[in-house]
Structure formats: C-alpha cells, structure tokens
Amino acid sequence: MKISTVEYLGGLRTKATHIKSGQIIITDAPLDNQGKGEAFSPTDLMSTSLAACMLTLMGIAGNTHAINIDGTLCNVEKIMAANPRRVEKIIVSVNFPKNNFSDKEKKILELAARTCPVGLSLSENTEIEMNFVY
C-alpha cells in the first residue's frame, strides 16, 4: 500500500506528503551532519515515531481496559554512533499525568508500549530504553 511521497527539495531538505490526508512533514539534515537543523531530521522522525507508536498502543490498551492516559507526554532522546553513522540508542521517558494507576494497569500500559510495531521493527543494533514515570 502506497502511503506517502517524499520529494528532495535541495539543501538537504525533503518534503514528505501523506497520500490519504495530505499532511506534510519537512525534514532537514541535522547540524552535526551538514544540515541547518531547522526541522526534524530523518533519524529524529524515526526516534519520535517510536514514542508516537508507544503512546498509540498504550491508548489502544487504555481504551480496551478503561485506563485514561490523556495528557501523557513522552520525552525522546536520540544518541548517534559513528562508523557507520546510525542511531545507537533511543531513550523514551513516558510521563503520565497524576493518577493512581494500579500495578495491573501499569503492567498493561508498559506491555503495550514494549510491543509497538516501530520498536519491534528497529534493528537489534539500536538500543531502546523506556522509562515510565507515574
């Protein structure tokens, strides 16, 4: 299924268009790799996609088990490696709004986050650290 088109705009910038919605994402090479750093880099998007996927799966689990996670915020950190240049580690800190989640609810949410398709699709060479703050 074709989901997007990506156009090179020059100057190390791309424009990705989601076919169904028409939504656009601009990427720029990062400052440490000849870019301007004026938009998400492709590796920023990959790392951010992990957090978005985790939140989506936790939202689905929340809907299934009547657990409200509205307002949950992820902070994403990306650590690069050289030779070859790649994402070595992604750290996602999941910060839940103040709530009295039971131990069972915490297990449900954390399992959902750990089974998101983005995380399962990343190479074994990319370390993923997930921190859950309740």
For 16-64, the pLDDT digits (tens) are 999 999 999 999 999 989 989 999 999 999 999 999 999 999 999 999 9
Is residue 22 within 8 Å of 9, Cβ to Cβ?
Answer: no
Collapse the DSSP code of 63 into the 3-class scheme (helix H, G, I; strand E, B; otherwise coil) and give the result: helix
Q: Write down the pLDDT at residue 129.
A: 98
Q: Which part of the chain has CATH 3.30.300.20? A: 42-133
Angle at 111 between CA 117 and CA 50, to 5 degrees: 35
42-133: which CATH topology?
A: GMP Synthetase; Chain A, domain 3 (3.30.300)
Q: Where are the alpha helices (DSSP H) in the chain?
A: 42-65, 103-114, 117-121
Contact between residue 41 and residue 27 where contact means Cβ atoms under 8 Å apart: yes
pLDDT at residue 45, as a whole number: 97
Residue 106: Cβ-neighbour burial (10 angstroms; 0-12, 13-18, 19+): middle
Q: What is the pLDDT of residues 79-133, one digit of tens each?
A: 999 999 999 999 999 999 988 999 999 999 999 999 999 999 999 999 999 999 9
